[in-house]
Amino acid sequence: MGRVDITRTFVGRELNTEYLFGLFAQLALNPNATTLLGVPINYSIVHFTANQNIAAAATIITFDFVSLGLVLPVEIDTWNVFNAQGQILEYDATFRWFEYLLDTIIATVGAELGATSLQEVIQFFTVAIATSICDTHLAYCNGTNQQYANYSACYDFLTTEVRFGEAYELGMNTLLCRSIHENMVPYRPSVHCPHIGPTGGGVSKYGGTHLKVQEAMA
């Protein structure tokens, strides 16, 4: 099981492997996609400690937000529990000051757009992200994996029926959450298409729809 503060809990070896490695690989393959996620380009471990099978580290990772023309550092604090074979059994990860990161991205893009209000920038991102998600849905979510009746239904829902979301809501019923899961759709549409759909693929104990993904440990 893995827990990430901004996206909540992921259960199962397959899903954790996909999200830890495949998410950023997919971003690298599609650098022009409009997203608030960046591609990691280097890292520096600034703090590390370990005791028996538990290790903790603070790592500064530099992310390239290719489509936005930004390169920004993010500190990620991790705690890992290993088994006797050196495999990770459980982990916790915290994106330190992620809200500040999101604010920096929005402010920078807003200045480039000449926006006069925060709402104007949010509207820009809403249109761009919704368009990207609906393009992905159209390409990969066919047959039994289809979540929306058509492209217009997808776009209307994402731009009018769901909130954009705050920095701490990438695991809640928000557009930002669906943007995270969009990048996983090409890997396994049957699993990930529901995560960008109206239901989000699950119900949250926090209220509303929560894009929590679960899978039995292999």
Confidence of residue 205 (pLDDT cuts 50, 70, 90): very low
- Phi, psi (rounded to 5 degrees) for 186: -60, -25
DSSP class of 159: I
Give the model confidence (pLDDT) of 136-175 as tens digits: 999 999 999 999 999 999 999 999 999 999 988 888 899 9
Over range 9-36, report the average pLDDT: 76
Confidence of residue 32 (pLDDT cuts 50, 70, 90): low
Rounded Cα–Cα distance for residues 37 and 67 (Å): 10
Q: Looking at the predicted structure, is the pLDDT value of residue 128 above 70? A: yes
For residue 77, the Cα-to-chain-centroid distance in whole angstroms is 17
Q: Looking at the predicted structure, is the pLDDT value of residue 207 above 50? A: no
Predicted TM-score (pTM) of the model is 0.84
Token representation of residue 139: 């390409």
Q: Looking at the predicted structure, is the pLDDT value of residue 112 above 80? A: yes
DSSP class of 212: -
